[in-house]
């Protein structure tokens, strides 16, 4: 185990904010993890960090940041039709997607190029292009902090919902994910229902599309719409897409017939990016902070912004959307 004091997290958060943590623990195996669990059992200020791609630090962190460093991918079981693959929490998410696609295993390809680690994926149930990671998770392994016991949570136990899970609620600050196991298909199973993918493959016969084609398409689409992390600090979508009742939808559609929406059970999901754009915030910049010119849902650190500046800018957006549409946007990014 390595322990560092007053450690900069600048390279551990994708907004590139130069904040410090009081302690930074690098933990290399499960025995070390059990030791550190004893340390944090009484503490109330600790954070398990993946690659910091969905987090906004508004100040220095007066506590313990833990980085679990195991990085293996293992095939647990293989049958004629599917395969169980386990990956340690610190595996880079897109490395796992790449590994699966190269082996022609289906299920992860729509989630190509999402920043972050495997351990963070179930926490907010990452999703893109018509697929959520909960679709392919078999179980999640980790330690319950309060009791120190090892636990396996099957998919049904994880309370997965849109950008949500038990790890953000009941188990918040009380669980360390060490490994995630996925059930992927050896048979071809593709999902090109998302509009951008439909457009991309409009001239291609569906029988000819492979996992690798979808990965290539998703990478191209993401690169054309989302800012390059190497150039602009950001954390992807800053807000969740709100789900509203029919009354709200109809009220907005009276003035804006172009409102895009997607029915989910008895609610209507509308793109936060559209709402933000209609409030005049697309590409808007105030000082060091702005929204991306091609995707209004992404807030960018143009250089030397502080976390507080970014939070204030996000709150301006929240206020504008509330005033214009009476909708309360929720953060998708974790704010600390
Ligand atoms: N739109 C606008 N203005 C914009 C951008 C988009 O009006 O500036 C409208 C368009 O009508 C567009 C619709 O919003 O068709 C949807 O846009 P897009 O396909 O870019 O997706 P999104 O709803 O903005 C969500 C996820 C993304 C994910 C994409 C693709 C959330 C909060 N975000 O964004 O996830 O990559 O779908 O599936 O659900 C992330 O979570 O960090 C993330 C990037």
- Residue 332 known to be catalytic: yes
SS3 state at 80: coil
Which of the residues 53, 134, 165, 237 is marked catalytic? 237
- Per-residue pLDDT tens digits for 78-100: 999 999 999 999 999 999 999 99
164 lines ligand 1 (CB under 6 A): no
Of the pLDDT bands very low, low, confident and very high (cuts 50, 70, 90), residue 127 is very high
Which atom of ligand 1 is found nearest the CA of 296?
Answer: 8
Determine the CATH number of domain 2-68.
3.30.43.10
* Minimal-distance CA residue to ligand 1 atom 24: 273
Contact call for residues 274 and 259 (beta carbons, < 8 A): yes
What does the alpha-carbon distance between residue 204 and residue 217 come to, in Å, rounded to a whole number? 12
- Residue 212 known to be catalytic: no
> To test ligand 1's pocket by mutation, which of 15, 111, 128, 270 has the most ligand atoms within 8 angstroms of CB?
128
Of the pLDDT bands very low, low, confident and very high (cuts 50, 70, 90), residue 58 is very high
* Minimal-distance CA residue to ligand 1 atom 6: 273
Give CA angle at 58 (296, 14), nearest 5°.
Answer: 55
125 lines ligand 1 (CB under 6 A): no
For the chain, where do the domains classified as CATH 3.30.465.10 start and end? 73-225
Q: Which residues contact 55 (CB under 8 A, 6 or more apart)?
A: 13, 15, 49, 235, 333, 334, 335, 336
Contact call for residues 57 and 307 (beta carbons, < 8 A): yes
Torsion of CA 277, 280, 285, 289, to 10 degrees: -50
| pLDDT at residue number 42 | 81
Average pLDDT, the chain: 97
Task: Write the class of the CATH domain 73-225.
Answer: alpha beta
281 lines ligand 1 (CB under 6 A): no
- pLDDT of 185 over the 90 cut: yes
* Minimal-distance CA residue to ligand 1 atom 7: 274
What does the alpha-carbon distance between residue 52 and residue 236 come to, in Å, rounded to a whole number? 11
Which atom of ligand 1 is found nearest the CA of 277?
Answer: 3
* Minimal-distance CA residue to ligand 1 atom 41: 237
- Per-residue pLDDT tens digits for 5-39: 999 999 999 999 999 999 999 999 999 999 999 99
Task: Write the class of the CATH domain 243-335.
Answer: alpha beta
240 lines ligand 1 (CB under 6 A): yes
Which of the residues 86, 132, 138, 163 is marked catalytic? 163
- Residue 237 known to be catalytic: yes
- Per-residue pLDDT tens digits for 41-56: 988 799 999 999 999 9
Give exposure, 154-184, as e/b (b: 16+ Cβ within 10 Å): ebeebbbeebbbbbbeebeeebbbbbbbbbb
- pLDDT of 159 over the 90 cut: yes
For the chain, where do the domains classified as CATH 3.90.78.10 start and end? 243-335
For the chain, where do the domains classified as CATH 3.30.43.10 start and end? 2-68
179 lines ligand 1 (CB under 6 A): no
183 lines ligand 1 (CB under 6 A): no
| pLDDT at residue number 176 | 97
């Amino acid at each position: 185990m390595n322990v560092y004091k007053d450690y900069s997290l600048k390279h551990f958060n994708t907004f590139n904010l130069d904040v410090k943590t009081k302690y930074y623990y690098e933990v290399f195996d499960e025995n070390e993890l059990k030791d550190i669990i004893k340390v944090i059992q009484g503490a109330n200020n600790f954070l398990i960090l993946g690659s910091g791609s969905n987090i906004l630090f508004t100040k220095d962190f007066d506590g313990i940041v833990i980085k679990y460093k195991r990085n293996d991918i293992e095939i647990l079981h293989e049958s004629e039709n599917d395969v169980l693959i386990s990956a340690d929490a610190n595996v880079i998410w897109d490395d796992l997607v790449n590994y699966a696609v190269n082996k022609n295993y289906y299920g992860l390809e729509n989630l190509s190029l999402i920043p972050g680690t495997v351990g963070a994926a179930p926490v907010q149930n990452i999703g893109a292009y018509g697929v959520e990671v909960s679709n392919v998770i078999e179980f999640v392994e980790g330690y319950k902090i309060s009791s120190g016991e090892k636990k396996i949570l099957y998919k049904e136990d994880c309370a997965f919902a849109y950008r949500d899970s038990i790890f953000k609620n009941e188990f918040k600050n009380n669980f360390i994910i060490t490994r995630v196991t996925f059930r992927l298909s050896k048979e071809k199973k593709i999902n090109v229902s998302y509009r951008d993918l439909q457009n991309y493959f409009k001239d291609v016969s569906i029988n000819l599309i492979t996992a690798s084609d979808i990965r290539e398409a998703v990478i191209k689409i993401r690169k054309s719409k989302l800012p390059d992390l190497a150039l602009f600090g950001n954390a992807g979508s800053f807000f969740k897409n709100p789900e509203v009742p029919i009354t709200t939808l109809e009220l907005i559609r009276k003035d804006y017939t172009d409102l895009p929406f997607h029915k989910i059970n008895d609610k209507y999901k509308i793109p936060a990016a559209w709402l933000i754009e209609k409030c005049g915030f697309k590409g808007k910049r105030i000082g060091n902070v702005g929204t991306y010119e091609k995707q209004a849902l992404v807030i960018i650190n143009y250089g030397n912004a502080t976390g507080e500046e970014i939070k204030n800018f996000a709150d301006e957006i929240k206020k504008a959307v509330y005033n214009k549409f009476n909708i309360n946007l929720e953060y998708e990014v974790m704010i600390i």
